[in-house]
Structure formats: structure tokens, C-alpha cells
């Protein structure tokens, strides 16, 4: 019954999200999202999954959040569902909004600049869904299946491509549950198994420091996420407090979310941590 309710919730919310995103595309990003990618055969593929802090940073700026000819995404909005298109903001996560961005594109730009080999491209698989507990990401759920299927399709449809890593950001919804680390560690194992690489690098991001520090149980949750590299090999932690604390001009506004500047900084930290796992 629990899994049925979760599946129903995802279906309903996903349908609403798709309708909203169709409007977003038509009104704001038709050209950017509608431009199909040139035919390429070899991608370095990154799955981005978790809840809203994968993509909910207010402050999209077309002067900064620009596309790149070597960075693509797996589309979600009709008529580009599961097709490879330009990686333009907002990336096509489940609950994307036209004014909000995530860390994925900044990560990809740094990866291209410092790690991408000649004649290869970067391909992001955006799968973030706002306000989702980790239970909605467990193996066999619609969100889990969607993420795995999209990533494997991108791999199998493009010979010579490689799944290079998972960028995960989740935890706010599950503050206070006692078995969070067990669920998180199993999820990493399941993703690695189903994506065909037991050593697939996984980078996890920390929650907003201001919001976290308001309650001790949130601090405890942050420590659980931060401690993942001590429990699970080939994982790393993108720390929102190092080398400086990521803040907003007014931290109390939408306290749970990083803003766009914070997301860009977080993207750099995700990449810096990913480098330690290459």
C-alpha cells in the first residue's frame, strides 16, 4: 500500500509538472530547449537526482547561465522527452521552473574545462523532483526507474559513451528519521548495480547551512550526509561551508533553498569533489 501511494503521488505530481513545464517551454525557452543536439557518438554521462536543491535556485541569469556547444541534456518536456538536446537552463528536471537553476550546468562547464577528453561531449540526465523523501527514490519506485532508464538509454543509444557519475542532493525531507543512512547507502548500491558499475563515483551535496543550523536534528542530518564517504567507497561530499559558507543576501527568505549564486558555487564544489574520485 505504501509503495502504491508513493507511485500515485509521483504520477499525479509528475503530470502536473509536465503540464507546467510545457507552458514554461512555450513561453520562455522554446528556442533554447527546442534546438536539437548535433549527432555525436561519445558522451560522458552524469545523472543528477534528488529533491529541489538539485534545481531550485532563484535567480536565473541568461548572461551567466549560458549554454555550451559541448554540453547536452536528456530532455523531458514534450516533444523532446528522452531525446538529447542542448543543456540550457532550466535543465529539464521534473519540477523545473523558468526562474530557477541548479548546480548541474556549472558542474558540467567545469568538467568540460578540466576533465573532458578530446572529441567527447558532456550529457546530463536531470531527474530532480522537489519535496521528495528518500523513500520515493528507492529501487523500484517511479522516480528511481525513470532515472535508471533515462541514463541507460543515453548510454546504449550512443556507443562509446560512459556513465561517469551521479550527482545527488537530498535529505531535507527526511530530517529526523533514524534509518536515513541505511536507506541512502542502499540507494547508492542499487544505482551502481543497475547502472552497471559498482565503483561509479557519487557526489552528495550538503543542505543550506543557515536552514540546517536552525535545528539540531537538521545538523544531525547534515552530518549523516557528510559522513557518507566514510561509509561508502568512491563517494564524496560537496560541503556548503568550505571554503566559505554559502549564504544569500537574506537567508531567511526561502531558507531551505540555495539561490542561483549558491547553486553556481555548489556546482563548482561538486566538480572539485568529483575530481577526487576520478
Query: Given this model, what pLDDT does residue 37 score?
Result: 47
Long-range contacts of 266-269 (CB under 8 A, 24+ apart): 266/103, 266/106, 266/205, 266/238, 266/240, 267/102, 267/103, 267/104, 267/105, 267/106, 267/107, 267/109, 267/110, 268/106, 268/107, 268/110, 269/205, 269/238, 269/239, 269/240
pTM over 0.85: yes
Q: What are phi and psi of 136, to 5 degrees?
A: -75, -5
Paired strand residues for 236: 203
Sequential DSSP letters for 51-74:
SGGGT-EE---TTTS---TTEEEE
CATH number, domain of 54, equals 3.40.50.1110
Query: How many domains in the chain?
Result: 1
Domain that holds residue 67: 2-275
Given this model, what pLDDT does residue 20 score?
38
- Three-state secondary structure of 76-131: CCCCCCCCEEECCCCCCCCCCCCCEECCHHHHHHHHHHHCCCCCCEEEEEECCCCC
Q: Is 251 helix (H, G, I), strand (E, B) or coil?
A: coil
**In the 8-state DSSP scheme, what is residue 36?**
B
Mention every residue, 6+ apart, whose C-beta is less than 8 A from residue 71: 86, 87, 105, 108, 109, 112, 121, 122, 123, 124
Give backbone dihedrals phi and psi of 262, rounded to 5 degrees, phi first: -65, -40
- Residue 44 DSSP label: E
pLDDT tens digits, the chain, 278 residues: what are they? 444 334 444 443 444 443 333 333 333 333 344 444 445 469 999 999 999 999 999 999 999 999 999 999 999 999 999 999 999 999 999 999 999 999 999 999 999 999 999 999 999 999 999 999 999 999 999 999 999 999 999 999 999 999 999 999 999 999 999 999 999 999 999 999 999 999 999 999 999 999 999 999 999 999 999 999 999 999 999 999 999 999 999 999 999 999 999 999 999 999 999 999 99
Q: Which residues pair with 100 in a beta bridge?
A: 58
| pLDDT confidence of residue 72 | 98
* Residue from 141, 149, 190 nearest 9 by CA: 141
Q: Is residue 44 a contact partner of residue 122, using CB atoms and an 8 Å limit?
A: yes
Amino acid at each position: 500500500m505504501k509503495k502504491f501511494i508513493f507511485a500515485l503521488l509521483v504520477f499525479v505530481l509528475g503530470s502536473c509538472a509536465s503540464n507546467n513545464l510545457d507552458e514554461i517551454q512555450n513561453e520562455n525557452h522554446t528556442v533554447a530547449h527546442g534546438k536539437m543536439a548535433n549527432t555525436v557518438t561519445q558522451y560522458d554521462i552524469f545523472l543528477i537526482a534528488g529533491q529541489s536543491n538539485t534545481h531550485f535556485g532563484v535567480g536565473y541569469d541568461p548572461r551567466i547561465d549560458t549554454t555550451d556547444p559541448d554540453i547536452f541534456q536528456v530532455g523531458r518536456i514534450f516533444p523532446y522527452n528522452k531525446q538529447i538536446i542542448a543543456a540550457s537552463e532550466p535543465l529539464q528536471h521534473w519540477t523545473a521552473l523558468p526562474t530557477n537553476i541548479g548546480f548541474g550546468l556549472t558542474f558540467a562547464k567545469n568538467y568540460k574545462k578540466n576533465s573532458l577528453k578530446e572529441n567527447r561531449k558532456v550529457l546530463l540526465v536531470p531527474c530532480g523532483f522537489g519535496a521528495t523523501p528518500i523513500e520515493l527514490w528507492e529501487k523500484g519506485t517511479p522516480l528511481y526507474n525513470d532515472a535508471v532508464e533515462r541514463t541507460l538509454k543515453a548510454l546504449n543509444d550512443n556507443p562509446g559513451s560512459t556513465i561517469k557519475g551521479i550527482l545527488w542532493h537530498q535529505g531535507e525531507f527526511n530530517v529526523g528519521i533514524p534509518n536515513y543512512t541505511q536507506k541512502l547507502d542502499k540507494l547508492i548500491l542499487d544505482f551502481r548495480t543497475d547502472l552497471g558499475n559498482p565503483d561509479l563515483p557519487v557526489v552528495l551535496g550538503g543542505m543550506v547551512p543557515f536552514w540546517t543550523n536552525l535545528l539540531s536534528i537538521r545538523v544531525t542530518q547534515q552530518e549523516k550526509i557528510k559522513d557518507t564517504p566514510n561509509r561508502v567507497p568512491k563517494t564524496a561530499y560537496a560541503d556548503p561551508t568550505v571554503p566559505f559558507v554559502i549564504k544569500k543576501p537574506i537567508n531567511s527568505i526561502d531558507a531551505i533553498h540555495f539561490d542561483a549564486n549558491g547553486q553556481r558555487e555548489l556546482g563548482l564544489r561538486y566538480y572539485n569533489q568529483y575530481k577526487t574520485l576520478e
